Structure 1
Amino acid sequence: MLNVFFLKACKIQNLAREYCKIFSAEARATESFGFSLEVIPVYLMYRPATSIPYASVEADLMGEYSRYCGLDPSGRLDMKNTSEVEQKCCALQHWIFQWTSGNMLFTKLEGVDSKMTNVGISVKSSGSVSLAEGNPKVLEQFVILHQCNYFCGLLGLRSLKVIESLLMPTKPKGSKSPLIQRKMGSGASSPQTGRKTSASPRTPRKMEQDGRNTPSHSEHRAADEFKDKLSVIH
């Protein structure tokens, strides 16, 4: 059991460290952000000659140890948002929540100044992150309790209410019933009506025949000239 505990602690904190590196890189791109946060690495050490062969090793943090956020005994999220480090921790939580589309949250951040250790991670569903605990209620609490601060604005983070509305699945619109479609389509003209309104195919033929029997203009002119010649002879 202890071996699993050490393995879990190392994996979670080193995963948080990689995310924090990305967060710090974005923070450094903003001049007004100031110092960035760092999650110190944790190493797994194997000692075969001892009764507990595995142990975790990390750097010793010198200074006043502080807890910036965590879970109280009832499992409720407890966040502080007063000092600069606390506000940056809240911005880090906001950033990771938005980065993972609301599927992950750092629920435990503590350490000395800007160096974090003993990081806790909660995810929306178990199995999405190996060894991380699924705790969707904590993520819902974060959306309600979090208040954006100055550093959230510097990073251009969206409001959690907006993110939550974007993540909510939209209800698909049901297709209309075939019966309704038939009723709506009943007002359309019948194909037979279209046939009745169209002209009979025989009508143009009669018009063509009538046109053939009617003398043309040249024929009228030739007849007039013939009449003039007859009048001259007489």
Structure 2
Amino acid sequence: MNSNLLTYWRSSLIDSQRTAPVLNDATCHVLKIGELAQGVVAQDISRKIIKQRQELLKRQFGQNLTKEQEDEIDAIQTASVLITPFIVSTRVEHGVARSDTQKARQGSIWISATVNLEGKLAADANRPPWFERACLEPIGLRTITLGTIESFDKFLEHTTFPTNPSFPDVLTFADKLCQAVANTSIYNPVFENYSSQDGRIMLFHEHAGAGESIVRFCETMRDSPKNGSKTQP
């Protein structure tokens, strides 16, 4: 198989793994940067998110939900969450938008974590912070762009995500990533053509699926084309 084609599909799959969550006001909760820096969320928010996870699990079981399963779900005290330290929106001056974009607002850099009933945030050691692909050049859409995919890749080449990180470790990594790609800090984001709002936190119930496995398969095929062509699916 053509190695250029494999490289193309590898890049496409990696882009698809860079989750771009929908900023739905019904499921997102405002998260102040001061709370994020302390690694905590208001308990009313954390309890709502965990309740949302419980309800989602019950809906997935549907009519097959047993009393034992329902009790196990009701006992859940943590939930996986997605956090964006700030939301970017189009700046308007004298009634005119500074940027010609189809998107009024969007997230940019995202952090995966776990929250408990008390509102304490814990690190996700398996998923480093990432930038939404839609806000990185080159992009064919009129959207809010904060940096380039090249600067993102260069940062990842030279910066290693900590092993067994604490939540402060994750925030440090995210801040360095944001400075490298968007030339601003997650703690005080400043942009020429855009304004920023408080961050958001939401339940994370999306799954990566087979994308990561397919990426590894493509790399094997590209690096060892002769051997890879004989690999059975």
What band does the TM-score fall into relative to the shorter chain?
under 0.3
Choose 1 or 2 for highest CA Rg.
1
Structure scoring higher RCO (CA < 8 A, sep ≥ 6) equals 2
